[in-house]
Structure 1
Amino acid sequence: MRNLGGITLVSQRSRTTSSMRQHTDLSEGRSQKPARTPNKLYHTESILSLIEIILAITMGKCTFNDLWLEDCAFSSWLKPVANNRYQAYCTLCKKMFELSSLGIKALKSHAKSEKHIVAVKGLKRVQAIRQFCSAPSLTLPGPSTARDSVSVASSATHSGFGSTSTLKAEVLWVLNTVTKHQSYNGNEDIAKLFRTMFPDSDIAKTFTCGKDKTSYITRFGLADYIKKDLISKVSGPYVLMFDESLNHTSKKKQLDIYVRFWNDDKVHSRYLGSHFIGHSTAQDLLKHFKECVQQLNLSRLVSVSMDGPNVNLKFFELLQSDLNEMYGGAQLVSVGSCGLHTLHNAFKAGFSMWQVEKLLRAMHILFNNVPARREDYVTVTKSSVFPLSFCGHRWLENLPVVERALEVWPSLQLYVDAVKRKELPNPGTGSYDTIEAAQKDPLILAKLHFFATIARTFDPFLKRYQTDEPVMPFLAKDLAELIKSILRRFVKREVLQDITKLQLTKLDLSEKKNLLLPQKIDIGLGADKALKDTKISDLRVLEFRRDCMQGLTNIVRKVQEKSPLKYATVRQMACLDPSNMFRDPDRCKEQMKCLVQTFLQAKQLAGGVSAGRSSSGRGFDQS
């Protein structure tokens, strides 16, 4: 991610990673060419076909026809070949192909080739220059060398930037530098390289785009335009998302704000800006938040998405109060804090008693960046597989870490035994001492297997909801099923039968009558096998199972504490789930009425509260 003075250009993934998860601001531009009328299209194709037939008969070989360049099916990628009228050039595939006696059919055949189709799909994902071809001009302030006007002609061609060909080339090179996360210093003396590589190019002779100019065009040209373009698109209701983390370069907290809005018939999530802050009380967050979003119309703000520290909840209350005063009682729709953060913290609470993270960290640190120990390890174990790094703030992403730990544990035992026999030097570190102590614990493998089993339970949910797609309609059902899958391991089945989503958040786990006996709880096949393979007393096994039950209880309680299922809006959004619409359309209608009433009461919709009132709608609020 590179900050462009208030705008960050981020390349798009995945739908994957984080929990906030990252996107490219330059990947959403589109160009729409005017559609041809059927008669004109038919007439043009008829003429082209007739020309091809005549050429094939009279000459035996077709030549390039300039009328093809006007056809919308070919104009975006077709070019003539200089000094050879019997060939055509595809700008996407970067190749020439023969027209032979096929003529226009050769173009259609090439357009259906696998390589061309892949290239077309790739073009839709990369930065579209036409996105910036709607504004009249961009003037860069400052010295005369960088003050050239960046003309953005309203055209369907690629002549997007600058009043000169050289300036267009410089802007395109700056975009390439930023979108590929290249260093500004890498552009020093680039002009000399281009002049050497392209001695016959007039553009290369006048091209100058070193470190300073790259930074200047980015900061005062592109960033300002991109932000204005984004603000202009956020014209309807929108949601703001923010998160703060330590910036290791500036040694300050970095408050990043994203905006999610509806445009071009789909939901967009775009980076809006960042603020660097020292103190981060609720009042401080509110101040910097307002400064960052001051160009947006806050009366159209629907909700704010954030993680769940108490300071953020206090910030939300202060923002609600301000908006209430500014816009006559308008309220934000609350759906709770980030559910993924809640799950990570809940999982951490369930396994803190065993300090599994201490062992997993030690396994990685012992061999990380220590070539001598790695060589000794490979020599003794005949294995080149090493432990992975443990992530301390996203515990559920450590499933591959614990799986690798189980895989290399036998090799680690060989290494420790070799050190004890003094065949290898003793590392003498805290990491080695931790591993040596864990080797003496007969339950260590059972603990690691139980950790992996519960992490696998959460894994499908994380993969589905670490995305920028609008998945709120499915959240209530999937989160309720996730909680039930944990509860089934240690809670009696009759307790969970016909339990509603809201009741799940209020289930009292301190009532022993609701719980299974420790001997009957489900700890997973891996942990069961590890227990059978160890020679320990039944009392130790019973204590381990009680620890497992306590860990599961801690996980569920933590999820209940800040679960999105507590919020009626989250539960009512299930009415937009197509599967629910098919199975129970009447229930979905009632939930929709409740949902509309919620937005009316928050003054997010016009029409008055009575428009959304339903005599039977309140019953579904408890679902």
Structure 2
Amino acid sequence: MSKETTSLSSKWQQNNTSKGKSYSLWLREGKKKSTFICAVCDTELDYGHEGWTNVKSHAEQSKHLRFLKDALKSGQLKSSNTTKSSSINESLHRSITTLPTTINKSSYSSFSNMSDRQLTQAEKVLRAECYWTMAVSQLGFSSAAAPNIPQLFAAMFPDSRIAADLAKTDGQRSPVIVDGIVQCFVHELVKDVLNAPAYSLIFDENTIVGGPKQLDVHIRYWSEYKQSITTRYWRSIVYGNTTSEIVGRYLIDLLKVDGLDLCKLFQLGEIITSEDNMNSNTAIEIMIDKKIRMEREAKTGDAVEKGLVSVGSCPLHAIQNVFMNGFTASKWQIDEIVHDFSFFFAQSSARSQDYLKAIENINSGSHQFSKQYVFSRWIEVGSTVERILRQWRVLIEYFITYLPKVNKMIVTNERWKRIKELLERKQVLALLFFFQYLYRHSFWKRLIWLQKQLPIVHILYEECTDFLRHVLQCFVKDDLLLNKTGKQLLTVQFNVATNQKAEAQLAIGESARNMLKDLTMIEKNIFMKDVRAIYSLITRDLLRLLPLDNDFLRHLQFTHPLLRQQDCARTSLMIVARDLPQFISENEIDRLHAEWLVYENETIPDEWYEQKPINSKLSQVTKYYPIDHYWKHIFSLKNSSGNAKFVVLGKLVKSVLSLSHGNGDVDSDFYENEMFVTENPSPLNIATINGLRATKDAVRFYGGGKVHEVSLIINIKKQISSNITRCK
């Protein structure tokens, strides 16, 4: 036998044991040339200098034979002596272990089931505890909030040893298991983020009722695991009255503790979205930007002029605040009108019952109360106004006719007086119809679009431009807006009376215009004057808040598949690349230009970005896949040598698509936080909140929201076993 280190021979897998079992069932190539992996024992061993002798010796060990027998019996392995099966298993193993970035969740999960050795009873119980802990987190409970459930399982399944042993643990290992699960998920998140060329942090600040403020932090990046842009929950920070410097330093420390590369931080979302605290955002951004430039200079040895990338303020909050200010800043206090209707019934269950009876007597066909008014989600007041308009006749009958008859003292109620006055004024109904028109046709669709979690930053500038143009077209003469670009719209003199449309051309909605027939000339003139004032207030704030003067954002259009062969896309590409010297070097810019020329001339099927209609009989409406779906296919293209065609282009596109288009991801996710932190919160500490939220996010990411499909269960068990060992 040679004294040189032996490597795996394909002939060995064709051999059979003395009992007729093929070595291909469990023999795998190790991470090193000098090692092999036993799939049923879940261990990696060294060949040493004996080579085949060591493999054969391992195959004859009683422990290995027992594990092999259990695996075959459970169906995890199928007995086969054919070379074809061996080659398939080996090919599957190699494709999964060498190309982890191209596998999907289902293939990863099936591989885990195939290669995992038969578990001992203790390991099965531990796995059950892991699944149960993750399931509890999915439902928004802490482990202490679900006592006696393991005992319930034992009673439900009396013939199950796993359920019986799980009941015996009595939750004693729960803290260790929770820590192990969270540690594993955070580790996998950090590993996935570090594989991305850049990442962005997205924030949202909210106040816990009766307690301190909570800051949710999400990470947006290109996930190699998913091969798409993803937004993952990272941490929540709870604090009281503090300074922006403390918040900024704490964020920097958290990034370092978790091992996230500060040099790859691309964008910092708005931390505080209220206009009164925007200076805090600026201070935190300046601090982190300075730290990033210092880190990059220490890493490269060159002075770095640019740190964070900015695409402007969050359009979601900007448009919502603009809509609110337009109507609350005028003398028509829409919020107060809705507030009075909503809380008149909220303060008395008897009034609610009386109102339902009145609806039945009037036979209006509507059996719904007005929706609750929530100031922090002001745009949602639109649906409340719509319901008020549907019940307007019922409201008049109830407040003006019914209530004074059944309750003589109601006339002393101040809220009733205000509501009665509103119902008797026809201008109010016209204003509500105008509000409904603007809500339906201008604002609501845009806000829904901005709450998408899909990457839309590449068309954000165009959408903001179209939105501003749409608002201007409602009251500004058309010839002043014709063929105007986004920047040119910023210079339109919208508040000059001669530039505004005549009353007959003002966009107020057909329902509101019909109501004008019942108004006097003075009332009509006042109403139209108020409409112009509202449009002017909205436009003024849009010009101030929308990122229409951000050239970097405008040039991100180069990623759109329909612009691939247009000169403007190539120009925008080079402008964006040169504006990112901290990410793209001069040598990479030269290569980027060459790669783009190849990309322009590439034959790309329409199916990569167009969704074909299922029913060809329907009208042809072109729908497009998300932009990251398209680029996933582009990045998969190889040259004749088998290497990726687009290296620098891939780095740039993955980076810019990780830019956040606003706080929509965090806003929608914050409702999940209400499951853990309610109006009467239990004493959850921040570690528990982080653990529950991180687990829920990971189950959604790895298992599609299904605990039993989480493909990292083996890693989780290893982490927990390690924690248990340290605690002994």
Displacement of 1:426: 4.8
Distance 1:186 1:332, change over 3 A: closer
Name 2:19's counterpart in structure 1. none
State the Cα deviation string for residues 326-363 of structure 1 (Å, max 9, x = none).
Answer: 32324211101211000001001110121111111221
- Does the residue aligned with 2:387 lie in a helix, a strand or coil? helix
Displacement of 1:481: 0.9
CA distance in 1, matches of 2:432, 2:148: 55
What amino acid is the match of 1:524? G
Instruction: Give TM-score, length-normalised by structure 2.
Output: 0.60
CA distance in 2, matches of 1:234, 1:162: 36
Are positions 1:605 and 2:590 aligned together?
A: no
Name 1:105's counterpart in structure 2. none
Displacement of 1:373: 0.9
State the Cα deviation string for residues 364-389 of structure 1 (Å, max 9, x = none).
Answer: 21223633112211222315221111
Give the helix-richer structure, 1 or 2.
2
Distance 1:378 1:230, change over 3 A: same
Any conservation in 1 of the 2:76–2:114 contact (CA below 8 Å)? no
Distance 1:368 1:157, change over 3 A: farther
Name 1:112's counterpart in structure 2. none
State the Cα deviation string for residues 173-206 of structure 1 (Å, max 9, x = none).
Answer: 1111111224534521223322222222211222
Equivalent residues in 2 for 1:149-228, closer than 5 Å: 156-157=115-116, 164-182=123-141, 184-208=143-167, 213=172, 216-217=175-176, 219-228=178-187
The percent of aligned pairs where both chains have the same amino acid is: 23
Which 4+ runs in 1 deviate beyond 6 A? 65-71, 127-131, 158-162
- Does the residue aligned with 1:486 lie in a helix, a strand or coil? helix
Name 1:465's counterpart in structure 2. 450
CA distance in 1, matches of 2:181, 2:424: 61
Any conservation in 2 of the 1:185–1:210 contact (CA below 8 Å)? no
Displacement of 1:487: 0.4
Name 2:568's counterpart in structure 1. 587
CA distance in 1, matches of 2:555, 2:445: 23
CA distance in 2, matches of 1:229, 1:529: 60
What amino acid is the match of 2:571? E
Are positions 1:262 and 2:222 aligned together?
A: yes
CA distance in 2, matches of 1:242, 1:546: 40
Distance 1:499 1:184, change over 3 A: same
CA distance in 2, matches of 1:68, 1:170: 23
CA distance in 1, matches of 2:120, 2:75: 26
Displacement of 1:411: 0.8
Instruction: Give TM-score, length-normalised by structure 1.
Output: 0.69
Name 1:290's counterpart in structure 2. 252
Are positions 1:304 and 2:304 aligned together?
A: no
Distance 1:301 1:225, change over 3 A: same
Larger displacement relative to structure 2 (299-308 or 468-477) = 299-308
Any conservation in 2 of the 1:519–1:542 contact (CA below 8 Å)? no
Name 1:87's counterpart in structure 2. none
Distance 1:483 1:156, change over 3 A: farther
Larger displacement relative to structure 2 (172-181 or 328-337) = 328-337
Give the alignment partner of residue 242 of structure 1, picking from 203, 208, 215: 203
Any conservation in 2 of the 1:160–1:168 contact (CA below 8 Å)? no
Name 2:243's counterpart in structure 1. 281
CA distance in 1, matches of 2:123, 2:232: 31
Distance 1:467 1:210, change over 3 A: farther
Distance 1:435 1:247, change over 3 A: same
Give the alignment partner of residue 423 of structure 1, picking from 396, 403, 406: 406
Equivalent residues in 2 for 1:16-27, closer than 5 Å: none
Any conservation in 2 of the 1:171–1:217 contact (CA below 8 Å)? no
- Does the residue aligned with 2:586 lie in a helix, a strand or coil? coil
State the Cα deviation string for residues 102-125 of structure 1 (Å, max 9, x = none).
Answer: xxxxxxxxxxxxxxxxxxxxxx99
State the Cα deviation string for residues 392-425 of structure 1 (Å, max 9, x = none).
Answer: 1232232211111101121111111234542346
CA distance in 2, matches of 1:492, 1:453: 20
What amino acid is the match of 2:434? F
Any conservation in 2 of the 1:597–1:612 contact (CA below 8 Å)? no
Displacement of 1:172: 0.9
Distance 1:426 1:321, change over 3 A: farther
CA distance in 2, matches of 1:491, 1:460: 22
Displacement of 1:321: 2.4
Name 1:347's counterpart in structure 2. 323
CA distance in 1, matches of 2:438, 2:322: 12
Distance 1:272 1:463, change over 3 A: same
CA distance in 2, matches of 1:464, 1:177: 32
CA RMSD of aligned residues (A): 3.3
Name 1:390's counterpart in structure 2. 373
CA distance in 2, matches of 1:161, 1:477: 59
Larger displacement relative to structure 2 (393-402 or 234-243) = 393-402
Displacement of 1:211: 8.4
State the Cα deviation string for residues 412-467 of structure 1 (Å, max 9, x = none).
Answer: 11111234542346556544333122113221111111111111112222222211
Displacement of 1:494: 1.1
Are positions 1:336 and 2:312 aligned together?
A: yes
- Does the residue aligned with 2:580 lie in a helix, a strand or coil? helix
Give the alignment partner of residue 316 of structure 1, picking from 277, 285, 289: 285
Larger displacement relative to structure 2 (292-301 or 518-527) = 518-527
Are positions 1:453 and 2:437 aligned together?
A: yes
CA distance in 1, matches of 2:590, 2:450: 33
Gap runs ≥5 in structure 2: 1-27, 29-71, 79-102, 298-303, 361-365, 594-728
Query: What is the number of residues matched between the two proteins?
Result: 472
What amino acid is the match of 1:577? H
CA distance in 1, matches of 2:459, 2:214: 32
Of structures 1 and 2, the one with the larger relative CO (CA 8 A, separation 6+) is: 2
CA distance in 1, matches of 2:168, 2:324: 50
Any conservation in 2 of the 1:238–1:300 contact (CA below 8 Å)? yes
Equivalent residues in 2 for 1:506-521, closer than 5 Å: 506-518=491-503, 520-521=505-506
What amino acid is the match of 1:363? F
Distance 1:69 1:209, change over 3 A: closer
Name 1:437's counterpart in structure 2. 421
Distance 1:510 1:588, change over 3 A: same
Distance 1:67 1:184, change over 3 A: closer
Are positions 1:272 and 2:226 aligned together?
A: no
Larger displacement relative to structure 2 (565-574 or 313-322) = 313-322
CA distance in 2, matches of 1:158, 1:544: 77
